Structure 1
Amino acid sequence: MPFPLHHDDPQQLGTYRLVARLGSGGMGTVYLGRSPGGRTVALKTMHARLASDPELRARFRLETDAARVIGGEYGAAVVDADPLAPTPWLATEYVLGPPLDEAVALAGPLPERSVRALGAVLAEALGQLHRSDVVHRDLKPSNILVTAFGPKVIDFGIARAVGDERLTRLGSTVGTPAFMSPEQAAGLDHTAAGDVFALAGVLVHAATGNGPFGTGRAADLLYRVRYAEPGLTGVPAALVPLLARCLDKDPARRPGTAELAHLLRDGDGPYGAGSHGGAGYGDFADRLPEVLLAEIARRACEVWEVRAHRLPAPPESRDAQVATTRSAGVSRRRLLGVTGGSLLGLAGAGAGAWAWFGRGDGAASASPSAPASASASAGSSAEGVPHVPTRAVWSARVEQVDDLLPPLVVGDQFVVLTKKGLVGLDATSRKEKWTCGKVQRAWQATTDGERVYAFVPGEKGGAPVVTVCSVNLANGEPEPLGEGIAVVDADVTAAHLLTAADGVVYLIARTGRPGATATERTAGWRLVAIDARTGRERWRQPLDDGGEYEPQSANARLVGRAVGGQLLLTRPWYEGHADRLQAWRAGQGAIAWRQVLLRGEADSSFVLPGRLAADNARVYFGSDRLSARHVSDGRRAWEFGPGRDVGGIAKGARRYGRPTVEGGVVYAAEGTRRIVAVSAASGELLWQTDLDAAMTPGLDIPPVAGERYLYVHATANGPGNTRGARSRDQLVAIDLHSHRTAWAMAVPDGLGRNLVAHERARVLVYGSGGLVCAVPFA
């Protein structure tokens, strides 16, 4: 998905004019560019600060060479490159197709004929690489783009030439654990047979939606890759023996790429005589699901609508902040190990990785003394000031935080809703950067992580409208995305901004003519999708919600989350309505499925406030049990909790808290005693930890998982003090390795309804009375 250019991005690279950002990581940035003749390309660059490192330049040249070896037949064709430029860059064709992981999330597990065609072409692609003495070493679903003419392999950032021991040493720990070969996981040489092992894992994912060794933390995955049998449940029976052979722990027993391509074709016949040479795959598109073909067509049209947009420069220089990060002495070799060695491993690094390694392990622990001095300089010392927790990095006094809108993380800011409107706070210094007084209600604003969107009611030509805007992050001014949507009333209850993702803003608006009858007003609610770049309406559909909608009522308001190519919508149970979960196809505006949630599966607090706990495969609920439903069809995936001892919970009362999912693990509070961690894929208990007997876990605030700690809300048992029950709130950090409580911190004025992490700034933020507080996030 294209994003706006930053103010300091170059105007062009070589002869290519930059139009948008496609992504950025710790090693470089990928841009969307256009040639003077109008050809659209993807431009990969190395960060200028790293370009002086000869080892990194060598790896960039190897990535360029590997991309040329595989060519446009099986990869993104190299259009131009200058690896010797002061800022090295590589221009390839812009491939019109989604990554395989997104394709599976959108269309569900692919049918056998699709998997066979996909695997045969990929086997031939690897064969072409191997014949040139190059191994990929990081083949995974996100590195495979699905087009109408066949799959294309991308991202050769950690590829290496066979026998190049220097680059082997540089990248000895790189790769993606879920799709590594056993020998790679053991730190041994990854040969062509290792790529075959990874390809088999990719095909298992294509056929089932899951990798052969599940999900979870890296150490667990590496162990399973080396010692566990692959999970092939759901793989078409005819493919099981072949994929099992490819996943053999012994590289010598795996088939070669030519044999694998032949065996995959054998069950499905030739694929026509088309784009992939003599192998014959001209009708590859005929073997893809229709929903996937529609997504490819949508992307083909969308790319021509992208227009250059550059974000304004921030009001103050970040030179001092950058200097601080650099002075911390980040090791380039250490960074290579973190980012998987890829110069453009966009999914694994980014500014958050720089902040984490720049601050060092000591800063992550955040002793109370260090934050206190930082806060003191801002006039809010953590020591001796009432209501400010001892571990606070900073605190900002605001006018009455409205915690029905969780703090929004966007760029280097937190955005909170206060009595005077939306307020942007610098995530590092807590400095107030802007105020937007035109946004006064929680249902008026949302973010996609890049921009803050809000709607403003008004009139146009005497008729009421609501206008969706992008809030300028420098001055807080709402900048309209389009002409506005005609509504019944020109007031703030005429719409509800649901969510924004993948370049689309979703809202619910009460459309119709002024002076409409009560019946017309009830029937006038529409679900509307707006293009975040052009402001044009993509689609609108009647809101099938069974009655009058009330955005101002948190108990009756829908919650939306865009995952897996779908928009999930649900609302809590209230009088006259059952809990329902429905999915809309994000690109088409059509209902994909509807399901009624069981009583006890979810209650009114699971969406108050915030969004659904979900990943691309499942959505998770907590009430009298933990449960998961498949994103693909809404059916029950698993449930956890019946029969477990949850302490002193009254019969019929809620037993589990609002869950969160991170890294393939679902975390939730259980009853009055403990925190549990269960597998997101199976619902199997991974670990549990009892809190101190003096504390009861909170059920309303979902945990937040960092790399080192799980942060949870708890309440101190025993008598409260004169400030009331909320003054007994505690923020507890549980060590994710030992599963023991690392520290607990009293929150004098009580936690709001959310804990929100800013990974780049490494702080965890919450509202507390008239304060917004930040504590270290590790």
Structure 2
Amino acid sequence: MPLPLTHDDPTGFGPYRLLARLGSGGMGTVYLARSAGGRTLAIKTMHSRIATDTAFRTRFRLESDAARVIGGRYGAQVVDADPLAETPWLATEYVLGPPLDEAVEAAGPLPERSVRALGAALCGALGQLHRSDVVHRDLKPSNIMVTAHGPKVIDFGIARALGDDRLTHTGAAVGTPAFMSPEQATGQEHTPAGDVFALAGVLVFAATGRGPFGNGQPADLLYRVRYGEPDLTGTPEALVPILARCLSKDPAERPATAELAAQLHDGGGEFADHLPDAVLALIGARASEVWQVVPQRLPAPADVPATVPSADVPAARGLTRRGLLMAGAGSVLGVAGAGAGVWAWLGRGESAPGPTGPYEKPTPGPSVSALKKKRLDSVWQIQNGGTYDEESPDAPFVLGGVPVVVGNTQIYRMDPASGAVEWTADIDGTWQIASDGERLYQNVRVAHYDDPDSGIPRDVDRFLARVDLATGKAGKHLAEITDANFGGIDSQLLAVAGDTAYLAISQGKVKMYQRQIPWAVTAVDLTSARRPWTEQLPFRSAKSDQWHFLAAKVVGDRLLLLQEMNDGKVRIVARDTRTGKVVWDKPWDVGPTAAHHPLTADGKHLYLGAGRLRALRLSDGSQAWESAPGKSYGPPALKDGVIYAVQKGLGLVGTDAAGGMPRWTEKGGDGAQASPTSRPVIGTRYAYTYSKSEGVLRAIDLASRTTVHLYKANGDRFTAVEQSKMIMASGEHFLAGFPLQ
């Protein structure tokens, strides 16, 4: 439960403002925070008194690295971190759900179906770590958050790479005695088999409400772990032999995570369908708490902090299972997408509004000032992870009116009218999906095992395949990406045009999640599986975790690329699609974040914002036209021969694409609040711009050039789905739909 800030707590870390305390211990404090765009975050910090210790700082950095390895599907997605700050901090998503120990304490032991689904999902999480040669070493109920979409593993404070003993001492037992393995209890090497032992203990706890070795003093627990037999009394009968094998004193006798997952569950159904109603109500209550938090700070000297009141959310009789998740002032389906407008109310210390009514069709108001008093809602909003910042800026993809959202570990097809998810499919990382405008392609990872039970592949191959838009499944392998000489285990699918795919591809061995050198850019013929050309890329540091390219687009016979160099600067590179040779190469004086937007081009020009608005000729890269000096623009959009972009301090403007002459300017003065970092959406009647500071999506009448509607909104990307007359707003943890007119 969130607690008020103390008088000496900082106001924030980096760009994130603190709202409340979530807890504090011997190592540091965890805060509830929000970003400027309204995203809810948890920020973990290290106490200043131990931050001067190099070993503790190293451990904190390794924790950040391990959290990035597990990713947002199985863990709390890392948003930002500064392990070198005076007070090191780590910002992650705020997980909407209770810890497993609190869930069991409040709702009682879980039924067998829940334990099986929980165990299989946790096998996936541990498998993700183990494939990257990382072990958790402290898996326990309090480190597992239960959400509607599956469990998330947190707290990697003592996780480490296999074979790395720099932060441990011989004979020292590091971990939680009630759930550590016998080998860990004696200070020996903790392998993936040790995590399996701990997982079995967690599942016994979930099924019975107690650990397999009971409670007591640490010394007693360590003795029982090393020499005693686990107590499986009360464990469902069918699970006893499975968990007993996992709790074997001999690590070699324990199953690998892949085998254990298959024994526990077939993976069918949604995770929420396997949870009891009481746990679903707890998840809904955790989501509701976020809406109720009002930032408070205790005066100095601080007395015992009083908890901030939060809504009590019982499971009301007659509620559907979806209703259990939506109980309270907020809902799991809405909290993650809480707009900046809502946070503006919270920031002023006022209570957040309750749930709004059904969607109200927008009608023209008498004035902008009147509209500001009544902001319209989205047509729908759901908590499904939207497209990540590291993903291709062209995602979500719209193919024949069908939007496909690309997350960190999944893609899913949406019904743009209702927000319903029609199918989901797994992927294994960012930049592995691309589209030619009609079809969707995937860079598919295929692992080969000498011993399938080990969960550790002998090697990995990658193939290009077409994705079936009806099911989300990858079809037959069209072309192999990896081979013994070329490498290609790590690769970035840049673009597809016609029957050719373009990739950035590694030519060396990849360790963990690092981008290794050397690299090349290559073309792959999807009909013959041949590579017409391969061109080397500049040296890339083995310590770099950045992709070579920020955006890519094929226009005619040009492959246009925004390439991030080793010094962090961005260059615009045009390659001949027939030969791969660089036709022209120009510097672009913007940072990588400002450049990470879809490329806007037609048959003659590439159009750039993020500073002056200008057009470069595709033929040779020379400048065709440029806006007047002293003005700054956001990323541009092209519609009917007009380039639209937000001019900083003015609003939306339109410029003739051919000659650069002004064609259209927003009136009324409201556009001054529009965010120049967001790309506008252009409809047939209205144009739409986003104001992050106000938390609104603004509809501007193209005829009168004035704002006629405001929608409460939040998001990183706004995508037009013209066939359905909808706009999709995408953030890392939510999606929303707005009318497109």
TM-score, L = length of structure 1: 0.43
